[in-house]
Structure 1
Amino acid sequence: MSLWVLSLPTQQKERLPVQTPPQTTFDAIILAGYDPDRPHPLTQGRGEPHKVLLPVAGRPMIGYVLQALADSGCVTSGVIVGMEPTAGLEFDLPVDYLPNRGSIFANAAAGFQHLAGRQDPRRHALLVSADVPLLTGEMVRWFVNACQPLDKDAYWGIVEKQVLERTFPHSRRTYLRLVEGQFCNGDLFLGRIEAALRQQALIRELVERRKNVLSQLRLLGPRVLLKFLLRRLSMADLIGVADRVLGLQGQPVILPFAEAGMDVDKPHHLAQVEAYLRSRGQQAAGGAAHG
């Protein structure tokens, strides 16, 4: 007797899209370099070429930034660009050091290139300047949370003029006037590693012109410049330009912290920051005395 085996078609499982877990921790690139051919006014006569190693209220400027990143709870390691391990910095997280490349753009590009060589370049990484001593872990964490769900290539922090001037009057920052208000750079950037390495030549030009808004806008085209001159330039316009010109899907993030926009670039900035820290120290001491 022959045995006939009835073979039933196997039901194929529906292939579901692979769910990538949300990224909640980040590597941080810390820009600590300087231009050896153009000494910074704050370093002249001090015997220290690194502006970020100058003391602010008795502590190296960069020390505050490293502490903020460590305190944020969302940074797992750092890449300090523009400084040697012999600098003796205190950082409670694993850290790599890269030599100074001589410009902000070159140092940032080196940091992202370094990360691209050791991890998935589709991940996002944090970029922060080492000359923002009033940055705190809470501010870093707030910014990272505001960027979720990380569906854009790049996020950059900005601070409204009214917010900054309320805490630091007469700071004389560089502001960009938009339909929504006037804003300055917030010194926090979160970008997809592979995206940050695109359009290097154009990004270099934009960074080099960062102190001259009109010069930057000319680089982005006559339509953008005309809208700015007519006071009709909006955040949506800037997002569109980033997509069209740079090939990046980006999103500005309005920071509620004046401190995040207070990078130390001039002597009066240093004086304002030190006065702020002294005031906060006195308030903390007063609160402890009454506790």
Structure 2
Amino acid sequence: MTPSAIILAGSRPGGDPFAESVGVPHKALISLDGSTLLERVVSALRAAGIKRISVSCNAGPVAELARALQVATISAENGPSGSVAAAFKELGAPMIVTTSDHALLRKEWVGELIDKTPETADLSVMLAERSAIERALPSARRTYLRFSDGDWSGCNLFYLRTPRAGKAIDIWATVEADRKRPWRIAARLGVSTLIQMLFRRLSLSEGVARLGDRIGINATLVSATDGLAAVDVDKLEDLEAVRQILLERRNDPSEN
């Protein structure tokens, strides 16, 4: 069964200073190579064979752009977890979750997430290991989760494969708040898990599996082959890096 997809494009309370600094009210409206970030994400999902695509957003220019791109809109809730919950209620499983600032999103990454998710899994999350990110973009400065099998960074790609994956949304807000303090997440899984993580005796795949067990689902890690999958546009430095990558692609015959 082909999954649907939700693109998170909600507005922050008080606006987005970064987006406003480059002359647009929302990051989804930033233009690269003549296409907005939202348009690039929609195009990548369509190229991956996903036909039912919705955008989680507030009323305004992002919603207008979504309609122009002929994709549905779902009202954004408070925070990404609330928006995912609303989308999952409407779209159901299986469902891909990504973000409107995933400027370099490629159909291959979406396919890799789907294809590498075991049939026994309810939920999978794509992350990239530090060496893969630095190989693809040496100048990248990311926040990493440190485990025994390396340092990892999120790729803003999730696959809610079965209805049971909805259980994970309930704790998404908590994980969201602690994503840069992973020891707090580990602490919720018990003292032994926390100790193993602090001493780097716990692999990320083991951590994801344990978190899934605590929730009551089968959760799995999908390691991104391409480190660029972890690159999004959160600040001007990211935007400039993405522009340089796109310029190099235009000048690379193998990309044309």
Q: TM-score, normalised by structure 2?
A: 0.88
Corresponding residue of 2:206: 237
Q: Which runs of 5+ in 2 are unaligned?
A: none
Question: TM-score scaled by structure 1?
Answer: 0.79
The alignment status of 1:253 with 2:222, answered yes or no, reads yes
Q: 138, 145, 161: which one pairs with 2:108?
A: 138
1:24-43 to 2 correspondences below 5 Å? 25-37=2-14, 39-43=15-19
| Cross-structure match for 1:196 | 165
| SS of residue in 1 equivalent to 2:167 | coil
| Alpha-carbon distance change, 49 to 217 in structure 1, aligned in 2, over 3 angstroms | farther
- Tell me the SS of whatever aligns to 1:48: coil
Corresponding position: 1:187 with 2:156 = yes
Give, in angstroms, the shift of residue 95 of structure 1: 2.9
Query: Once the 2 structures are TM-superposed, how far is the Cα of residue 244 of structure 1 from its aligned partner?
Result: 3.0
C-alpha contact (below 8 Å) 2:20/2:26 kept by paired residues: no
- 1:51 alignment partner, one of 27, 36, 45: 27
- For 1:181 and 1:53, locate their aligned partners in 2 and report how far apart those are by CA, in whole Å: 35
Q: Kindly, what percent of the aligned residue pairs are identical?
A: 26
Tell me what 1:65 maps to: 41
Q: Which has the larger radius of gyration?
A: 1
Corresponding position of 2:237: 268
- Cα deviation, residue 287, structure 1: 8.3
User: 2:54 pairs with 70, 79, 82, which one?
Assistant: 79
Instruction: Please report how far the alpha carbon of residue 153 of structure 1 lies from its aligned counterpart in structure 2 after TM superposition.
Output: 0.6
- For structure 1, the residue ranges without an aligned partner over 5 or more in a row are 1-22, 117-122
> What's the Cα RMSD here?
2.3
Number of residue equivalences: 253
Q: Distance in 2 between matches of 1:58 and 1:255?
A: 27
Q: 1:151 to 1:244 in 2, by over 3 A?
A: closer
Asked if structure 2 preserves the Cα contact closer than 8 Å seen for 1:239 and 1:249, the reply is: no
Distance of 2:161 and 2:226 partners within structure 1: 24
SS at match of 2:116: helix
TM-aligned CA distance change 1:163 to 1:27, over 3 Å: same
8 Å contact from structure 1 (residues 34, 103) kept in 2: no
Mapped contact 1:54–1:61 kept (Cα < 8 A): yes
Q: 1:113 to 1:234 in 2, by over 3 A?
A: same
Question: In structure 2, the residue corresponding to 1:270 is in which secondary structure?
Answer: helix
Quickly say closer, same or farther: Cα 1:287–1:96, change in 2 above 3 A: closer
| Deviation of the 1:69 alpha carbon | 0.4
Q: Alignment partner of 2:154: what SS?
A: strand
Displacement, 1:130? Answer: 1.5
The C-alpha deviation readout for 1:113-167, integer Å capped at 9, x for no partner, is 1124xxxxxx32111112111111122122212225x221101111111111112
Could you say if the C-alpha distance between residues 88 and 239 of structure 1 is closer, same or farther in structure 2, counting changes exceeding 3 Å? closer
Higher share in helix:
2
CA distance in structure 1 between the aligned counterparts of 2:5 and 2:175, rounded to whole angstroms: 22
